Amino acid sequence: MIGRGWLRTVTADLFRHWRHFAAASVGIILGVAALTFFLALGFKVRELLLVEIFPADHLEVAPKSADIDLFALRLDLGRDALDASVLTDLASIEGVDAVYPKMRLTVPALASGGDSIFGSGLQTEIVADGIDPMLVADELGGAFREVGGERATTPCSRDEQCGEDFYCDGARSFSGGMCRPYIPVLVSPYVVELYNGAFRRAYGLPKINPDSLMGLAFEMDFGASTFRSSPLPPIRERMRLAGVSDKAIPLGVTLPLGEVRRLNMALDGPESGERYHSAVIEIRSKQSAPGVVDAIEAMGLEVRDRGARRAAFATAVIMVVLALVGVVLIVVAAAHIMHVFYLVVMVRRREIGLLRAVGARRGDIHFLLVAEAAAVGMVAGMIGLATAVAAGVAADAFAASRVPDFPFKPESFFAFSPLLLAAVLTLAVVACVIGALPPAFRSASGDPSEALAGR
Amino acid sequence: MHPASCILHPASFILHPASFILRPCRATLRPVIRLEGVRKRYPGADTDVLRGLDLTIDSHDFVSIVGRSGSGKTTLLNLIGGLDTAYEGRVEVDGRNLRSFGDSEVSTLRNRTVGHVFQAYHLLDHLTCRENVSIASLFARGEKRRDAAWVRRRAEELLATVGLDGGGGRRPSTLSGGERQRVALARALFHQPAILLCDEPTGNLDLETGREIVGLLTELHRNGDMTIIAATHDEMIAAAGAQVLRLHDGRFGDPKRGVE
């Protein structure tokens, strides 16, 4: 039934009644634009929350805290560490693929360096933890690895003599130095974002490209502090930045687990090398997360990053509410389309009667009007999509130029995926078609003689 | 059956008294339209507009239905042409009861079997004359579906037949009343209908133009094999018909009386 003749007829009808259809399209354009804009915004925020801020494929498990506030102090009455047996139990939970223990550095540390970037050396108290390098093997490859087995005893007087991953420790001493490996460290994107978004402004420092930080070397004195000194002499190590990862401690640096264990045992006693302050659970799928969380809580432990779930839920609620605004606009527009089509079929009553007199079936008339409505929906929908994308681009441009940097500020706040655009366009077309159905059925309901006579 | 096919059989011819032309004899004709006890009342009306009509019209006939305004002429044509399906009684076209037709069948009847010419032309001003003539092709099905080139050629041929050669690209709004009625006639002929129903085809035309339209109808009847039924109160059209039926207050009257 669909052919060039039909296409011409539909197109001619649309042009003939363009004022009516243009008026009817306004609601669809606004509805589609609002729905697309808010959904794209919501999807992007959700993506930021779940992928960058709260990755949901890993859960961090820690002992359940049982804090009691007593005047200025908070007493921790709960278990404060996980031992090897707990890790074994965690690994046996259905849906858990792997367990990666994390160990906090239990002695103070001072970090110093950064001359090449900041112009002068910085020294700061710093906290550190250690993670299993396997946890970040996928994202960083072999750059972040245990170096305990690589302790060389090669004498040296310059760093260049020791090879790429080593430096000459004690090169300036009278007896000469020994080659020692750099300890690879990770920092969290929080640290970079915090620096670029706030810290650098306060100190008038340059903005840093995270990629340029790779390979940055600095020294750490473990057991040293400006507040309180360790009874044991501090251990100085040279660190080298191996990557930026959300698996790293949010504020501080993350070392290979074996290095932290070594340092804790050396400076805080042997037992501190067997106590893990948390563990990262790699779950098989997001769908298995609820069951894993229940099992973990049944063990008397708690999942720390529930923020992801809360954030995702809050985002979903906001997104649904905003999307509902768009959907309501489209529904109202569909009602408007219905009224316009009632008007159009009334104006075209004799014409429709004639079409039936020359052989059009009721279905043909329905098809003709529905095709016109679909075309209106398609054109209005595309204008609406273009409006939404243009508004998104304008909002991004405004945010880039006027909104100060903040942690995780994205280049674009919108995720205009082809699937989203196609879905909203389909909704617009369907809404117009549904709106046009009652007038279409009404128009072809009587006999042609009534329509031709104007009865 | 084309009238010319009877020429080899002189016995089958009679001299028709009304038109003085050779007509196929009754023996070669068959009833193409039959009405039995047809009654029609419009919603809200106090009386029937058609009051139990019985009528048989043979193929190839040219029948004029005459009567005053409101006598039921248009209603009768609408019933025969399947434009009006709300009536009592029985209407048969080509041996089939229209009441048994569904929407698809009655639409096919309107598309293939019956051509309508209306007093008000009912041309679509947003289409060209050619597109108006070929509009029935949009709803053609089966073997009647043709490609665009054929449809265009057919429309041009029909426009030439009604004397509008080369006028296919014009809009109806640029045409005179007579030209519009010619386009409407060409539209009615698009699928070579077996029955042509003309409702006051000269009602909106001046005498000379009306005469041209009547001439066209007479020529179509002479050269074609279609049944023509013309509702009119125009004496000229009535005289063109081989059979004149008088409709008065919903009933057929004395066919020998003149046109009122």
Q: With an 8 Å Cβ cutoff, are A364 and B139 in contact?
A: yes
Cβ within 8 Å of residue A86, ≥6 positions away: A279, A299, A301
Q: Check residues A305 and B156 and name the one with the higher pLDDT.
A: B156
Percent of chain B with pLDDT over 90: 26
Q: Does residue A288 belong to any structural domain of this protein?
A: no
Q: Check residues B80 and B256 and name the one with the higher pLDDT.
A: B80
Q: Is A448 on the interface with B (CB under 8 A)?
A: yes
Residues on chain A touching B136 (C-beta within 8 angstroms): 358-359
Q: Does residue B186 belong to any structural domain of this protein?
A: yes
A100 and A45 part of one domain: no
A121 and A264 part of one domain: yes
> Over its length of 455 residues, how does chain A's per-residue pLDDT go in tens digits?
446 666 777 777 777 778 878 888 888 899 899 999 988 988 888 777 766 666 567 788 888 776 677 777 766 666 678 888 899 999 999 889 899 999 999 999 999 987 777 777 788 889 999 999 988 888 888 889 888 756 657 888 888 888 888 888 887 777 778 888 899 999 998 888 888 888 888 887 878 888 888 888 899 999 888 887 667 888 989 999 999 988 898 889 999 999 999 999 999 888 888 889 899 888 887 667 667 877 888 888 888 765 666 776 777 788 788 788 878 888 888 898 898 889 888 888 888 999 999 999 999 999 988 998 999 999 999 999 999 999 999 999 998 888 887 777 788 889 899 999 999 999 999 999 999 999 999 888 888 888 888 76
Residue B15 has pLDDT above 50, yes or no: no
Residue written as tokens 């020692």? Answer: A180
Burial of A321 (0-12, 13-18, 19+ CB in 10 A): exposed
Q: With an 8 Å Cβ cutoff, are B135 and A355 in contact?
A: yes
Q: Is A355 on the interface with B (CB under 8 A)?
A: yes
Residue B20 has a CB neighbour count (10 Å cut-off) of: 8
Domain hosting residue A34, numbered range: 4-54+311-453
Report, as an integer, the average pLDDT of B217-222. Answer: 85
d(CA B117, CA B156): 18
**The pLDDT of residue B201:** 84
Q: Does residue B74 belong to any structural domain of this protein?
A: yes
Q: Does residue A273 belong to any structural domain of this protein?
A: yes
Structure tokens given for A276:
């893990």
**Would you place residue B2 in the very low, low, confident or very high pLDDT band (cuts 50, 70, 90)?**
very low
A229 and A102 part of one domain: yes
Q: Is B192 on the interface with A (CB under 8 A)?
A: no
Q: With an 8 Å Cβ cutoff, are B83 and A449 in contact?
A: yes
**The pLDDT of residue A32:** 92
A359 and A409 part of one domain: yes
**The pLDDT of residue B140:** 84
Q: Are B35 and B57 in contact (CB under 8 A)?
A: no
Nearest to A448 among B83, B124, B151 (CB): B83
**The pLDDT of residue A76:** 63
Residue B187 has pLDDT above 90, yes or no: yes
Q: With an 8 Å Cβ cutoff, are A5 and B122 in contact?
A: no
Q: Is B62 on the interface with A (CB under 8 A)?
A: no
End-of-domain residue from the set A245, A262, A282: A282
d(CA A146, CA A261): 11
Number of domains making up chain B = 1
Query: How far is CA A125 from each of CA A7, A40, A107, rounded to the nearest angstrom?
Result: 74, 42, 11
Is the pTM of the predicted complex or chain greater than 0.80? no
Q: With an 8 Å Cβ cutoff, are A358 and B118 in contact?
A: no
Residues on chain A touching B81 (C-beta within 8 angstroms): 357
Q: With an 8 Å Cβ cutoff, are A452 and B85 in contact?
A: no
A121 and A213 part of one domain: yes
Q: Is B15 on the interface with A (CB under 8 A)?
A: no
Helices (H), A110-154: 115-118, 137-140
CA angle A250–A254–A258, rounded 5-degree value: 150
Q: Does residue B257 belong to any structural domain of this protein?
A: no
Q: Are B231 and B240 in contact (CB under 8 A)?
A: no
Structure tokens given for B192:
């070579």
A361 and A435 part of one domain: yes
Residue B231 has pLDDT above 70, yes or no: yes
Q: Does residue B210 belong to any structural domain of this protein?
A: yes
Q: Does residue A434 belong to any structural domain of this protein?
A: yes
Mapping DSSP to helix (H, G, I), strand (E, B) and coil, where does residue A39 land? helix
Q: Check residues A19 and B159 and name the one with the higher pLDDT.
A: B159
Q: Is B148 on the interface with A (CB under 8 A)?
A: yes
Q: With an 8 Å Cβ cutoff, are A356 and B140 in contact?
A: no
Number of domains making up chain A = 2
Residues on chain A touching B85 (C-beta within 8 angstroms): 447
Residue B30 has pLDDT above 90, yes or no: no
Q: How far is A351 from chain B (nearest CA, A)?
A: 7
**The pLDDT of residue B1:** 36
A108 and A225 part of one domain: yes
Return the sign of the alpha-carbon dihedral for residues B229, B235, B241, B246.
Answer: positive
Q: Does residue A214 belong to any structural domain of this protein?
A: yes
Cross-strand pairs, A168: A179
Residues on chain B touching A353 (C-beta within 8 angstroms): 122
Q: With an 8 Å Cβ cutoff, are A5 and B148 in contact?
A: yes
Residue B22 has pLDDT above 50, yes or no: no
A249 and A369 part of one domain: no
Q: Does residue A154 belong to any structural domain of this protein?
A: no
**The pLDDT of residue A380:** 93
A104 and A10 part of one domain: no
Residues on chain B touching A448 (C-beta within 8 angstroms): 83-84, 110
Query: How far is CA B65 from each of CA A24, A424, A427, B19, B242, rounded to the nearest angstrom?
Result: 47, 59, 55, 16, 11
Model confidence over B97-152: pLDDT tens digits?
A: 998 888 899 999 999 889 999 988 899 988 899 999 999 998 887 766 778 888 99
Amino acid at A86: V
Q: Does residue B259 belong to any structural domain of this protein?
A: no
Q: Does residue A160 belong to any structural domain of this protein?
A: no
Whole-complex ipTM: 0.85
Q: Does residue A76 belong to any structural domain of this protein?
A: no
End-of-domain residue from the set A267, A282, A297: A282
The CATH number of the domain holding residue B51 is 3.40.50.300
**The pLDDT of residue A334:** 87
Residues on chain A touching B131 (C-beta within 8 angstroms): 8
Q: Does residue B258 belong to any structural domain of this protein?
A: no
Q: How far is A29 from chain B (nearest CA, A)?
A: 28
* Interface with chain B: mutation pick from A348, A358, A443, highest number of B CBs within 10 Å: A358
A100 and A218 part of one domain: yes
A131 and A207 part of one domain: yes
A258 and A386 part of one domain: no
Q: With an 8 Å Cβ cutoff, are B118 and A447 in contact?
A: no
